[in-house]
Amino acid sequence: MEKPWAVILAAGAGTRMNSSLPKVLHRLCGKPLLWHVLAAAQEVTDKQVIVTGFGEEQVRDYFGEKYLYVRQDRQLGTGHALQKALPYLPDQGEVLVLCGDTPLLEGTTLGGLITHHRKNKAAATVLTAVLEDPAGYGRVIRDPSGRVEKIVEELDADEKQKAVREINTGSYCFDLGPLKKLLPNLPINSQKGEYYLTDLIPMLLGAGLQVEGYRAGEPSFALGINDHVQLSEAAAVMRRRINEKLMRSGVAMIDPASVYIDAGVEVARDTVIYPQTILEGETKVGEGCRLGPGSHLVDTVVESGVVCRQSVVMESRLSEGAQVGPFANIRPGSLIGPGVKIGDFVEVKNSSIGRGSKVPHLSYVGDANIGSGVNMGAGCIVVNYDGKKKHRTVIEEGAFIGCNSNLVAPLTVGKGAFIGAGSTITRNVPADALSISRSRQENRDGLARKFLGNKEEK
């Protein structure tokens, strides 16, 4: 049997978000709300139609042209939104109708909805959930046999109906034949001046068709996002899902509640993540790494066996067996080679550091290419900016840079060269050369007393 289509309703402005950004583009664990809905839909549907309105250009710019977009110029309710998409849907088959602000939906839940719909040969199946506190949601009213009889919005519900804890989640599976026949005749709600998709239920029942309700077990999927409070609540659920999935795949977390991992992150088995660690964007972590405590990695590739403690790494690559931190800052465009050591209070920017090299502490490496086996002593600075332009520095294999040295770019330090501590180097240094640039030390006996005076008298 062919997969259904999906229509995702994403036209709303989201006024309660109090933001210029379309609601469906607000991020949950690193991805827009709509991205999560589409990801779930793509697991079980063939094609996806996005109904846009507010912020249409921003939505299209983010998701590209692989989806079919339908514009709803005036937001006149969920029924009106589906009416706009109706001409683009086939005449036969099934369609899932989903809300773009329900990011906790999962493909397994939607798969269960489709299976229930087909098994019961329904014209429509409503995805429902049972909540401890159903306030704010439409109630699903069933007849004595358990069939869906109607959906009553909370404002229209009497006390008995308000006591019902089964709610309409806003997700549906429809047979396209009856939908195409009846939806164009959907009546407008006289009080609100909008077309509600829930009003299609009595129309289907009145035509002698069957309406089912599929009650999913975990109710958190029903959470819709209308403000930043609900967004934070959904983020807590999503983070727990992400962390539990990783731990079941072989990743160890010392304190999962304090670890924040985005939806686009990949982590391989036998990696240990310590408390207060954040992995964002498209970060990918190999096997057997040790991350944290207190590390923050964004859009970074981490190869196997890396140790990264209390450090920030942005848009870079940490090669196999590298050690970073504590308190290092790896800025975008950096390649930290295999077995490299980047120690405490070291900043690296747009630089490559070759196999086995060491920058142990208190140094700045910017716009540099450092070969393998290089040692940079404490306090070394690669001076990359002349006030107008940035220039590159090359330090070749096996060079030794003494403590508190300044390398003023553009500059090349040759293979095996030795820079004396405290030097400021402004010209290229040949291979195997010793380079020292500093004032000669002078010791003058007895002059300290003249400058300092008699300490005992003070």
Catalytic residue, from 117, 296, 361, 391: name it. Answer: 361
Token code pair at residue 372: 């393998």
Active site residue 36: no
Three-class SS of the chain: CCCCEEEEEECCCCHHHCCCCCHHHCEECCEEHHHHHHHHHHHHCCCEEEEEECEHHHHHHHHHHHCEEEECCCCCCHHHHHHHHHHHCCCCCEEEEEECCCCCCCHHHHHHHHHHHHHCCCCEEEEEEECCCCCCCCEEEECCCCCEEEEECHHHCCHHHHCCCEEEEEEEEEEHHHHHHHHHHCCCECCCCECCHHHHHHHHHHCCCCEEEEECCCHHHHCCCCCHHHHHHHHHHHHHHHHHHHHHCCCEECCHHHCEECCCCEECCCCEECCCCEEECCCEECCCCEECCCCEEECCEECCCCEECCCEEECCEECCCCEECCCCEECCCCEECCCCEEEECCEEECCEECCCCEEEECCEEECEEECCCCEECCCCEEECECCCCECCEEECCCCEECCCCEEECCEEECCCCEECCCCEECCCECCCCEECCCCCCCCCCCHHHHHHCCHHHC
N-to-C CA span, the chain: 98
| Residues acting as catalytic residues | 361
